[in-house]
């Protein structure tokens, strides 16, 4: 248990509390998705001060865990860490305060929904299941289906042509229709007058 007896805290002097706590309190499960197996104890380093009759605790906590990569399913060993813990307890002068549940909750909230063995994990081949971080498979060298697709013009090409022509013609007709009668009308009249004289 992570406990602080506030009667031990001197006025204006931060009370340091550091140590380890069994990671069993986290209740992590290897059957979860992703699997979560503690690989060591919870380590905590806390600083407690009294503000009147209230207790303010800040600090950090961490726990190492074993899990698996979301892309390639390889084992991943990582550390769940919370560096900005802050707890406030009201009216606890001369009382023993148990911080275990608060630290436990913050660590559980800090667990990401998935883990990766590395940021550029290549994952597994979707066809044969080979881990592409450890080697390549024959699937990538096989000619797949792009050949028939590129040879035969598909109905998508005709749809693209229809969609492109519709917006181009509509704005081009309007200014052309307005300009042509305005220019033609004055051009014809002086031409007709000159020929008559």
Interface residue with Zn ion among 28, 55, 61, 72 (CB under 5 A) is 72
CB 127 within 8 A of CB 141: no
CB 81 within 8 A of CB 97: no
Closest separation between CB of residue 138 and Zn ion, Å? 7
By beta-carbon proximity to Zn ion, the closer residue of 119 and 146 is: 119
By beta-carbon proximity to Zn ion, the closer residue of 34 and 40 is: 34
Type and span of the H or E element at 193: helix 155-196
Type and span of the H or E element at 60: strand 54-68
Closest separation between CB of residue 130 and Zn ion, Å? 5
Stretch that binds Zn ion, among 37-45, 128-136, 148-156, 179-187 (CB under 5 A): 128-136
45/50 Cα distance (integer angstroms): 17
Site for Zn ion contains 137 (CB under 5 A): yes
Q: What pairing do the DSSP bridges indicate for beta strands 15-21 and 3-5?
A: unpaired
Site for Zn ion contains 139 (CB under 5 A): yes
Closest separation between CB of residue 8 and Zn ion, Å? 47
Within 8 A by CB and 6+ apart from 104, the residues are 25, 26
Stretch that binds Zn ion, among 17-25, 61-69, 156-164, 185-193 (CB under 5 A): 61-69
Q: Which residues bind Zn ion (CB under 5 A)?
A: 69, 71-72, 117, 121, 125, 127-128, 137, 139
């Amino acid at each position: 248990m992570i406990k602080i007896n506030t009667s031990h805290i001197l006025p204006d002097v931060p009370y340091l509390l550091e140590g380890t706590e069994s990671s069993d309190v986290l209740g992590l499960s290897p059957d979860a998705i992703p699997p979560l197996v503690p690989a060591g104890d919870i380590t905590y380093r806390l600083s407690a001060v009294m503000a009147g009759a209230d207790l303010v605790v800040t600090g950090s906590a961490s726990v190492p865990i074993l899990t698996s990569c979301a892309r390639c399913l390889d084992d991943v060993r990582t550390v769940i860490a919370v560096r900005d813990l802050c707890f406030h307890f009201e009216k606890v002068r001369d009382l023993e305060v148990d911080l275990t549940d608060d630290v436990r909750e913050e660590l559980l909230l800090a667990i990401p929904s998935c883990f990766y063995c590395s940021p550029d994990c290549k994952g597994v081949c979707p066809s044969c299941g080979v881990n592409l971080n450890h080697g390549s498979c024959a699937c990538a060298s096989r000619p797949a289906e792009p050949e028939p697709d590129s040879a035969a013009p598909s109905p998508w090409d005709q749809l693209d042509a229809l969609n492109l022509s519709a917006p181009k013609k509509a704005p081009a007709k309007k200014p052309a229709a307005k300009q042509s009668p305005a220019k033609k009308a004055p051009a014809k009249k002086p031409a007709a007058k000159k020929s008559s004289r």
